[in-house]
Structure 1
Amino acid sequence: MTGFRHPLALALLAATLPVPTQADPIIQTRFTADPAPIVHDGVVYLYTSHDEDDADGFRMLDWHLYSSTDMANWTDRGTVASLRTFPWANQTNDAWAPQVIARNGKFYLYAPITVAGSPRNVIAVAVANSPAGPFRDALGKPLIAPGEGFFDPTVWIDGDGQAYLYWGNPDLWYVRLNPDMVSYSGPVTKVQPRLTDYQEGPWFYGRNGHYYMAFASTCCSEGIGYAMSERPTGPWTYKGPIMDHDSRATGNHPGIIDYKGGSYLFGFSYDLNFALTPIHHERRSVSVAKFSYNADGTIPNLHWWDRTSAPRIGTLDPYRRVEAETIAWTSRIKRDRDRPYAWTPGVTTAGDGNGAVYVTRTGDRSYIKVAGVDFGAGARAFRARIANGTPGATIELRLDRTDGPVIGTLPVGDAGAWREKTAAVSAARGVHDLYLIFRGGDTASLVDVDSWQFDAMPRGAKA
């Protein structure tokens, strides 16, 4: 969730936003906001809110999940909860910023929504047995009763086992959660005095004896600021910006984790929206940047997403099943030649209603980039599980660039129901970025793809 939009800020956004690069934003198949990452069993799970494609103001109905082990390729895990998870909530809008935390083998999702028939915000909680859900309503009613600005929850379990839930715009509030994570003890407390430059979107955590409160800084435009404390309930000392106020962001929302020896800041921008149109809409996109804490525990100023990013920190094994919705970059953005600033949706993902996710809307010349694929000594074949194919369509496999070397071509044929098809490949050795380029006629989607995998060359053979 973000604050008021000043007309001057909107004009500046339209004038200054660049076309996004391959590192920014990290999800291109749909609009995402309010990133809430957690690390569990060696995997980064990134929960996000979701701006609908037709949103002008906030139009948000569900929460999505993505995962990664290399910070470059993100696998779409689908919708893990929605307003339908809470039948007593307003079902037409208001699925705002979530956060998830694990405790005692369960996963708790805290989300701000509105109660049916009321304009006031509450905080709800859902629970699941795995990070990917499905999440179910834990209480059948709000955890935090209606209040003004009661949204953007953030949760942390301290080293002594005490859990804290913070939230709020323009004031910051907290409670101490009970061990069951679905009730609390003590009063709902307002943090006073108000944190310098605080607006909304708090992200609370502890690290190396310090407590941190990152947040979206005062609107508008918003950056990301933070404060520190020696105790989980303050007092808080403002430490400055992690990202400056920037005309390219009338809203923001931080999420911060440590992973595989690095520290990462997640937030969002409007880059995808402004790559499609000069008109401001609440259609946001999540980005991530790697950083290092200063010796005293403070966080450096990372400035903006065009000056910082997160490098790939691993490789992908192509000789095991890879979900087709594992994507480093894809060509969602396609200009309509006949209508300036109009756009045609490119590659995206969909669910089958049973929790499975697949790639669809694969128009001619659209593509998927998968970063850091380690072919080792060489591959001999490519296999893909496909459906709804168009006669004459193909999936062209290239290395490192959209015009890079072709290592194989998979004929799609007229595949109807899901089936596996195979094509020979050659000259695929070592670590490369892999491009799956869809070729064919003028149709909205040439083929749906569920998964793919390469077959390795026999030991001793030459690729």
Structure 2
Amino acid sequence: MIKEGNPIIRNPYTADPTVLVHEGAVFLYTGHDDPPPGVDDYRMHDWLCFSSTDLLHWAEHSSPLKATDFQWASGDAYASKVVEYGGKFYWFVSVTHAGGPYKAIGVAVSDNPTGPFADAKGSALVTHDMLPAAESNKANLDPTVLIDEDGKAYLFWGNGRCYFAELESNLTQLASPISVIDLPEFSEGAHIHKKNGTYYLAYGYGYPERVAYATSRQIGGPWEFKGILNEIAGNCATNRPAIIEFGGSDYFFYHNGALPEGGSHRRSVCIDRLYYEEDGSMRRVVMTTEGVR
């Protein structure tokens, strides 16, 4: 049960959730929509961190990372992904590369899930010129990372096309060429996770975005399109998922524009329950103040 219903964070505006379970707590990392009054556009300068032990009560931590903490970046704190690996916490982010309109992917590291985080590489992990068949200057958006059971790490990301590469064991270098995954109506907002031996790749589908997903028995594919998991979010054109298991149940995090004065550039994070059917397909169930309906 969610104490006040969705959205779960009501001040400030939050977007693009990524979620980590660590030592009995859930750590929620979000973008921060912060346009000044009268401006209807993306203004995102830093990322935020919240934690909870029951998904009902959320503690806000001081902002652990800003776009300009990457000295090679000019700003724009877009969607991200946090993973725990080797006793450290790695935060993969999308920012605007200094000196141009192109987005790049960076990675920060910390000894603690709440930070502080610092640039782990001193330069971008992925730049626009590394991409095959890149058309949009926003091609390097929305990184998501999976640490597999064998310890190997994999990166998915993209805008307009979905890109895929294996990471080196230090998580700050690519270990394979970048390839393109063919997914129907792929827009952005990729999220990769694994359940019962199956890989699930969810993403923003079309525009305005719904959330669709594909599955595979191999991390490199082939991927089978499975359908729509979340319809267009209320009063919001984008739709970025995060999926976790916590306390024996599965949860689906996303954002919408449902708060007063909210919208596509003033978004707020929500949680719903998630169920896996016998055939492995996923089903989302809306959370309410009374429980699950």
TM-score when normalising by structure 2 = 0.91
8 Å contact from structure 2 (residues 236, 267) kept in 1: no
Indicate the residue corresponding to 2:287 in structure 1.
308
**1:198/1:36 CA distance change after superposition, 3 Å:** same
Length, aligned pairs only: 280
Deviation at 1:198, TM superposition (A): 2.1
1:276 corresponds to: 261
* TM superposition shift of 1:53: 4.6
Of the three residues 156, 165, 178, the one matched with 1:188 is 178
Q: Distance in 1 between matches of 2:95 and 2:147?
A: 23
Tell whether 2:56 aligns with 1:66.
no
Shift of 1:114: 1.1
Q: 1:70 to 1:64 in 2, by over 3 A?
A: same
Quote how far apart the aligned CAs of 1:301 are.
4.8
**Distance across 2 between alignment mates of 1:310 and 1:263:** 18
Deviation at 1:85, TM superposition (A): 1.2
Corresponding residue of 1:207 = 195
2:243 counterpart (256, 264, 269): 256
Instruction: Show the counterpart of 1:124.
Output: 106
Match of 1:46 among 28, 40, 45: 28
Conserved 8 A contact 1:288-1:310: no
Distance 2:57 2:264 in 1: 27
Equivalent position of 2:10 in the other structure: 28
Letter in 2 for 1:69: T
Q: Give the superposition deviation at 1:309.
A: 4.4
Matching residue within 289, 297, 302 for 2:280: 297
2:140 is matched with 150
2:227 corresponds to which of 233, 240, 264: 240
Identical columns (%)? 36
Q: 8 Å contact 1:249–1:270 — kept in the other structure?
A: yes
Higher relative contact order (CA 8 A, sep 6+): 2
Structure 2: runs of 5 or more not aligned: 130-135
Q: Which amino acid aligns with 2:66?
A: S
Which ranges of structure 1 fall in alignment gaps of 5 or more residues? 1-20, 313-463
Pick closer, same or farther for the CA change 1:310–1:153 going to 2, 3 Å: farther
Alpha-carbon distance between aligned partners in 1 of 2:192 and 2:116, rounded to the nearest angstrom: 25
Q: What amino acid does structure 2 have at the position aligned with 1:70? A: D
Provide the C-alpha distance between the structure 2 equivalents of 1:310 and 1:210, rounded to a whole number of angstroms.
32
Give the structure 1 partner of residue 82 of structure 2: 100
For residues 107 and 290 of structure 2, the distance between their equivalents in structure 1, rounded to whole angstroms, comes to 34
Quote how far apart the aligned CAs of 1:246 are: 5.3
Pair 1:168-2:152 in alignment = no
CA RMSD of aligned residues (A): 1.9
TM-score normalized by structure 1?
A: 0.58
Q: Secondary structure at the match of 1:203?
A: strand
Measure how far apart 1:87 and its partner are: 1.6
Q: How far apart are residue 197 of structure 1 and its match?
A: 3.1
